[in-house]
Amino acid sequence: MLKPKISNRLFQYSNHVFLSIVALLCILPMIHVLAVSLSSNYATTSFLVKLWPIGFTLDAYEKALNSNNFLIAFRVSVLRTVFGTLLSMTLTMLAAYSMSKDNRYFRGRTVYAWFFVFTMLFHGGLIPTYLVVQKAGLMNSLWALILPVAVNVFNVVLMMNFFRGIPKELEEAAAIDGAGHFRILFTIFFPISLPSIATLSLFTMVFHWNSWFDGMIYMNQANQIPLATFLQALIAGFDYTQIGLNPSDLESLSERSLKSALIFIGTLPILLVYPFLQKYFVKGMTLGSVKE
Amino acid sequence: MKGQRKLLAVIISILVSMSMVAACSNGANNGDPAEVQPSASASPTSSNQEDPPAAPQPNDRTKFDPPVTITAALQLKPSDKLRNGDTPEDNPISRWFRDNLGIVTKYKWVVTDSLETKVRLAMTSGEELPDVLSVSGTLFEDLVASGKIQSIDEAFEKYATERVKDSYIKNPEIWNSVKRDGKVYGLPTISNGIVGATVMWVRQDWLDKLGLKAPTNIAEFDAVMEAFTNQDPDGNNKNDTYGLALGGNTGYYHPTSNYMADTSFIFGQDQPYLWIKDASGNLQYGSTLAGVKDGLGKLKDWFAKGYLSPDFGTQDAAKAMADFTSGKAGIAFAPGWSGGWPIGTAVAEAEKTNQALDIKPYPLPAGVNGEVGRQASLPSYGTYVFSKDFTQMEAIFKYWDTLYGCAIEDPKCPFDKGYGEGYDYVLNDGKTEWKDVPDGIVSLNAYLMLSPSSGTSPTNVMEGPNIYQRVASGQLDNVFEQKLAASNGKLTIDGFAVAYEQIAQDVPSGFYGANTATMKEKWDQLSTLEEQTFLQIIYGKQPLDYFDTFVKQWNDQGGKQITKEVNEAVASLK
Amino acid sequence: MISLRICLFIIKHRWENYGMKMYFRKTWPLHIFLLPSVLLLIIFNYIPMAGFLIGFEDFKPWLGILKSPFVGLKHFKFMFNDPTALQVIWNTFIIAVFKIIIGSIVPFAFSLFLNEVRVMLFKRTIQSLIYLPHFLNWVILGGILTDLLATNGLINQLLEGLGLNRIFFLGSGEWFRFTLVTSDVWKEFGFGTIIYLAAMTGINQSLYEAADIDGANNFKKAIHITIPAVIPIAIVIATLSLGNILNAGFDQVYNMYNPLVYQKGDIIDTYVYRVGLLQGSFSLATAVGFFKSVIGFILIATTYKLASKYANYRIF
């Protein structure tokens, strides 16, 4: 009995080491971005900064936080992420619930499934989608960023597979108590599936937070442009037009520090969502003990 | 999304030069800087509001009543920080035009990336365009074809002031880029002809240490490269330096001709990527000329000897320049403005920390065939187009004339000191200061609805030394010179001044017209072929004679037809 | 009393039966649940599919979809007649296949390792760190990687230190593909593990307890409990990713490639982007997109059929 314990411990140790190394590899680029954002213009222009700031300065953060556009864009992003995720997750749960039913029980399920999956692959493309959004009168409205992407078929399919893992007995017991579909979904499926819901919510939030193209084409006013659009314009090589060029400080042409600072503050909020959601990952473990 | 990378060089040039509009150059002072004349060359009189307005007068300050409102598109900026509660539609510039000319700018669109997608979508959906847009390239073609923009021939004739007309008369080739079926569909900006022209930036401390002189021809250049690569110029006893910083990854097919860290000098008068006149007056595509083969042979030789970075094909301009400013490479070719960033930034920092970094701009050495030459700056870096339903062209030309005056150093320029007090200058006891603006200098260029000259005074308009040359020689007579001197680093001023010395040898392209039919179909493939060939030859993956195979392929795959079409197009414009 | 009890029992029984029956008969709420999604899909996905027309015409923005000249299969032919285009399709396929295979296995495997960690704080920290690269734009990562992978960059210094030859990762075709796949997997695997970790929390703990009593070690528990429980989700994800068989990642390639590696590294999207610059790329891009969708759809449909036929599992 001793041997397996030792090998087990050995495994635990090496596993920890392995995971730590991989995690380190993953965090290095972020640290690099952070270091650049805290470095002097010369150091960043000459690509000298690796993982530690050179010529430490908070200038970039001061500039970033002083920029009106940045704060307004931040607000738009929060709004679209919150409302977009709420709507999208509601639709996802409703659709996934229906589609998790057996074919023999819910006739037409397969038709729905193909109807959904087909849209994952075939997109009309930029122009016709734009025309629909425009004709629907959604231009310059937050809805243009929410409605066209509200149904996320990938999430629906995953959710449906999670729902299928829920023991049939729970559902039947509730049905015997007279619960309808709506009640079953929200009193049984919902609490049991919190880990998956948290996961898919995270996916949706990340998606909304990072989407930039729709913000670019549907929004015409400065106070409606989401942060991702704002950052994309900044990062994607168009930076040179973005900077208030002063005759005296052409060096601001580079602004790699400012870019990095904006990227960092722009990414931080969404990075913090995950650690927060992690508590829902444990609750799901009570699944086995819900009711027998 | 990143389609704009192709235009990066252009964009940078525009911006850099726009930033200097405020520090404009003198127009027609005939080489005698002491006598600043009131207006530009061709303008017969300075403004006189009492004159009957038979012809539009320069600096005409008659106000539109009621005010004219013009819609435009605004580029959103991350570091946008207007002061004192100003907004994009209410700031020192917009207030001046509103209060003095009765012209109001409203922003219909805020643009975060390129205009291109937005305009194309608006065309498809039938949305109205803003009254004024600044466009270039295929977007201009599409707008002309769509009939959504107006031809401006009549308006130009009727409303443009003499001095503005004169600027185009002196740069006649500019119209070619906007003329379609005999009509002019946009108002092109006129470049100062120097903004993209490269000079040779050399590590002076390395030269001095090794007892060398700045090279003036290829043989000398070879020697300096050898020394910079093998003789440990930084004295750290490591073989970690190389000769020439070269950004071969341009994103627009021109590996030897990036917006910084280029090597166009090596080709002398046989510049690749341009349409070059041959002995019989026909245009030939530069990349197929024998001189280009010689240049590539030289580069191949340098690469093999380690004078270039083994990574240059993967490095973009900024990365390659970083090799130069961080002391890995000893020479870089870049335009005058790089004396501000990135070179100026690096030098200033080095001074602060007492490191050795002494960089000087020099004229280009002669190329591989003994001639001096480089790619000329574009004649124009963008065109303003006007919506077909827009009727206030008179206001446009008044706005234009005002800023054109600033470009040619008209003392009546309302923005002679800068665009806004507290932004790019301050007044201390009536004295103008450009250096110590509280909270730093902020440029208002982005809020100009129109910016006629993308740089200092347009090409060919001025006579005598250029403002950079004047300031470089220590002349600070008028407010424009003072501002230029105060708001630019010495290296920038020197860099541009040096660039002007060789402007006569610049190689322009013989063709700036619309893409021809075969170009539209084949150009990108041909360019890919060209780019691959050049890099493979330099990297030694192909022998130099592969160049001949390339020329044949290029011609066979559509190049011949394109050359024919280009020559026809040019003939038809005459 | 007894009769009353019997009576109550019968009523209750009937009631239960009635409830059950009603429940099973009532499928209309399921349709109602799907209705909003269906409507949104019709409006924002199906109606715009009329835009496929653009792929069959020379689309001019100012003429619109209906009035642009119809050119039939011109853009499709362009793609298949050009010999470089065939090479490009092959590049795309190879790069995408490796990305799909390795990109499916790594997150799955990694989540198994992570699942073995008993120290919750450590586990959570690792989880939160490995998904960081997902949030960095390829423009940024491309810049960082160009530095790291340069011939005198950090990686090559390491290789040299180990007595190996330097590698021109970004300048030689085969290594470039390798770099693309590796960096993409590295960027996305952490994000991918999240879903598996979520699935693992759903495993009934009593199964592990029973296995403990039987004296099973961690390895056996992973093989017999964890993997079987998570594999359906893995299959679903892998199947859906088949739709990307001709998407090799525009942003990544565009930000990392250079003319030296066009031969092996140019993919459909970058090719179309370059070739289309001067011709207004809408039509060609639509045609190519349509082609990619058809291939992806065929693959997904085939997998779906195979799974339902041989494993009796409906992926969706």
Q: Does C171 touch chain B (CB under 8 A)?
A: yes
User: Which of B106-115, B303-312, C116-125 comes out lowest in average pLDDT?
Assistant: B106-115
What is residue A291's predicted lDDT score, i.e. its pLDDT? 36
Chain B nearest-CA residue for A216: B112
Interface test with B, best of A248, A251, A254 (most B CBs within 10 A): A248
What is residue B320's predicted lDDT score, i.e. its pLDDT? 93
Chain A nearest-CA residue for B109: A220
| pLDDT tens-digit readout, B478-533 | 999 999 999 888 999 999 999 999 999 999 999 988 889 899 888 988 999 999 99
Determine how many CB atoms are found less than 10 A away from the CB of residue B460.
16
What is residue C16's predicted lDDT score, i.e. its pLDDT? 54
Measured between alpha carbons, how far is B511 from B505 in angstroms, rounded to an integer? 18
Measured between alpha carbons, how far is C299 from C316 in angstroms, rounded to an integer? 14
Cis bond upstream, residue B66 (ω within 30): yes
What is residue B211's predicted lDDT score, i.e. its pLDDT? 95
Is residue A204 within 8 A of residue A88, CB to CB? The reply is yes
Interface test with B, best of A45, A70, A127, A264 (most B CBs within 10 A): A45
What is residue C2's predicted lDDT score, i.e. its pLDDT? 55
Is residue A169 in a domain? Answer: yes
Distance of residue A60 Cα from the nearest chain C Cα, in angstroms: 17
> Looking at the partner chain, which of B310, B523, B532 has a beta carbon nearest the beta carbon of C262?
B532
What is residue B560's predicted lDDT score, i.e. its pLDDT? 97
CB A230 to CB B114 under 8 A?
no
pLDDT at B147 over 90: yes
CB C51 to CB A127 under 8 A?
yes
What is residue A45's predicted lDDT score, i.e. its pLDDT? 75
- Angle, alpha carbons B200-B206-B212 (nearest 5°): 80
Chain B nearest-CA residue for C82: B525
> ipTM of this predicted complex?
0.88
Q: Does A56 touch chain B (CB under 8 A)?
A: no
What is residue A218's predicted lDDT score, i.e. its pLDDT? 93
User: Which of A252-256, B178-182, B545-549 comes out lowest in average pLDDT?
Assistant: A252-256
Q: Which of residues 257-276 of A touch B (CB under 8 A)?
A: 258, 262
pLDDT at C25 over 80: no
User: Which of A14-18, B248-252, C189-193 comes out lowest in average pLDDT?
Assistant: B248-252
CB B322 to CB A46 under 8 A?
yes
Is residue B50 within 8 A of residue B110, CB to CB? The reply is no
Measured between alpha carbons, how far is B254 from B535 in angstroms, rounded to an integer? 10
What is residue B237's predicted lDDT score, i.e. its pLDDT? 92
What is residue C190's predicted lDDT score, i.e. its pLDDT? 93
Predicted TM-score (pTM) of the model is 0.86
Q: Does C60 touch chain A (CB under 8 A)?
A: no
Chain A nearest-CA residue for C313: A161
What is residue B83's predicted lDDT score, i.e. its pLDDT? 86
Interface test with A, best of B74, B250, B345, B443 (most A CBs within 10 A): B345
Average pLDDT for residues C189-193, to the nearest whole number? Answer: 93
Interface test with C, best of B135, B139, B309, B311 (most C CBs within 10 A): B311
Give the pLDDT band (50/70/90) at residue B372. very high
Cα torsion A23, A25, A26, A29 to 10°: value is 140
**CATH class of domain segment(s) B3-194+380-468:** alpha beta
Is residue B346 within 8 A of residue B241, CB to CB? The reply is no
Mean confidence (pLDDT) of chain B: 87
| pLDDT tens-digit readout, B292-351 | 999 999 999 999 999 999 999 999 888 899 999 999 999 999 999 889 888 988 898 888
Is residue A201 in a domain? Answer: yes
Contacts of A250 in chain B (CB under 8 A): 16, 19, 337, 340-341, 344, 488-489, 492
Q: CATH code for C73-310?
A: 1.10.3720.10
Q: Which of residues 162-181 of C touch A (CB under 8 A)?
A: none
Q: Take residue B377 and report the two structure tokens written for it.
A: 């700056």
Residue extents of the structural domains in chain C: 73-310
Give me the percent of chain B exceeding a pLDDT of 90.
62
Domains contained in chain A, number = 1
| pLDDT tens-digit readout, A56-82 | 888 888 877 777 778 888 999 999 999
Give the pLDDT band (50/70/90) at residue A7. confident
Q: Does B523 touch chain C (CB under 8 A)?
A: yes
| pLDDT tens-digit readout, A195-234 | 899 999 999 999 999 998 899 899 988 888 899 888 877 7
Chain C nearest-CA residue for A28: C133
Measured between alpha carbons, how far is C45 from A128 in angstroms, rounded to an integer? 9
Q: Does B248 touch chain C (CB under 8 A)?
A: yes
pLDDT at A178 over 80: yes
Q: Take residue B181 and report the two structure tokens written for it.
A: 């079926």
CB B524 to CB C152 under 8 A?
no
| pLDDT tens-digit readout, A116-173 | 999 999 988 888 999 999 999 999 999 999 999 999 999 999 999 999 888 888 888 8
Touching subunits for chain B (3+ Cβ pairs under 8 A)? A, C
> Looking at the partner chain, which of C171, C254, C280 has a beta carbon nearest the beta carbon of B313?
C171
Q: Does C137 touch chain B (CB under 8 A)?
A: no
CB C275 to CB B525 under 8 A?
yes
pLDDT at A241 over 50: no
Is residue A136 within 8 A of residue C42, CB to CB? The reply is no
Q: Which of residues 314-333 of B touch A (CB under 8 A)?
A: 318-319, 321-322, 325-326
Architecture of the B198-375+515-573 domain: 3-Layer(aba) Sandwich (3.40)
| pLDDT tens-digit readout, C217-250 | 888 889 999 999 899 899 999 999 999 999 999 9
CB A125 to CB C54 under 8 A?
yes
Give me the percent of chain C exceeding a pLDDT of 90.
48
Is residue A187 in a domain? Answer: yes
CB C146 to CB B319 under 8 A?
yes
What is residue B233's predicted lDDT score, i.e. its pLDDT? 95
What is residue B49's predicted lDDT score, i.e. its pLDDT? 46
Measured between alpha carbons, how far is B427 from B413 in angstroms, rounded to an integer? 17
Average pLDDT for residues B64-86, to the nearest whole number? Answer: 84
User: Which of A40-49, B464-473, C65-74 comes out lowest in average pLDDT?
Assistant: A40-49
Measured between alpha carbons, how far is C61 from B93 in angstroms, rounded to an integer? 35
| pLDDT tens-digit readout, C4-24 | 566 555 556 555 555 555 555
Q: Take residue B75 and report the two structure tokens written for it.
A: 């580029």
What is residue C275's predicted lDDT score, i.e. its pLDDT? 77
Q: Does A40 touch chain B (CB under 8 A)?
A: yes
Q: Does C62 touch chain A (CB under 8 A)?
A: no
Distance of residue B83 Cα from the nearest chain A Cα, in angstroms: 11
Touching subunits for chain A (3+ Cβ pairs under 8 A)? B, C
CB B346 to CB A45 under 8 A?
yes
Residue whose token pair is 């083969």: B293
For chain A, the DSSP string reads -HHHHHHHHHHHHHHHHHHHHHHHHHHHHHHHHHHHHTS-HHHHHTT--SSS-SS---HHHHHHHH-HHHHHHHHHHHHHHHHHHHHHHHHHHHHHHHHTS-TTTSTTHHHHHHHHHHHHH----HHHHHHHHHHTT-TTSTHHHHGGGS--HHHHHHHHHHHHTS-HHHHHHHHHTT--HHHHIIIIIHHHTHHHHHHHHHHHHHHHHH--HHHHHH--SGGG--HHHHHHHHHTT-HHHHS---STTGGGGT-HHHHHHHHHHHHHHHHHHHHHHTHHHHHGGGGGGS--
Average pLDDT for residues B526-547, to the nearest whole number? Answer: 95
Is residue A133 in a domain? Answer: yes
Position B437, amino acid? V
Is residue A262 in a domain? Answer: no
pLDDT at B43 over 50: no
Measured between alpha carbons, how far is B17 from A234 in angstroms, rounded to an integer? 20
pLDDT at A251 over 50: no
Residue extents of the structural domains in chain B: 3-194+380-468, 198-375+515-573
What is residue A82's predicted lDDT score, i.e. its pLDDT? 97
Is residue C182 within 8 A of residue C188, CB to CB? The reply is no
Give the pLDDT band (50/70/90) at residue A254. low
Is residue A267 in a domain? Answer: no
Measured between alpha carbons, how far is C289 from C269 in angstroms, rounded to an integer? 9
User: Which of B43-52, B527-536, C78-87 comes out lowest in average pLDDT?
Assistant: B43-52
What is residue B214's predicted lDDT score, i.e. its pLDDT? 96
What is residue B201's predicted lDDT score, i.e. its pLDDT? 98
pLDDT at A242 over 50: no
Contacts of C132 in chain A (CB under 8 A): 26-27, 29-30, 271
Q: State the residue range of the domain holding A171.
A: 80-229+272-289
Q: Take residue B423 and report the two structure tokens written for it.
A: 């932004």
Mean confidence (pLDDT) of chain C: 87
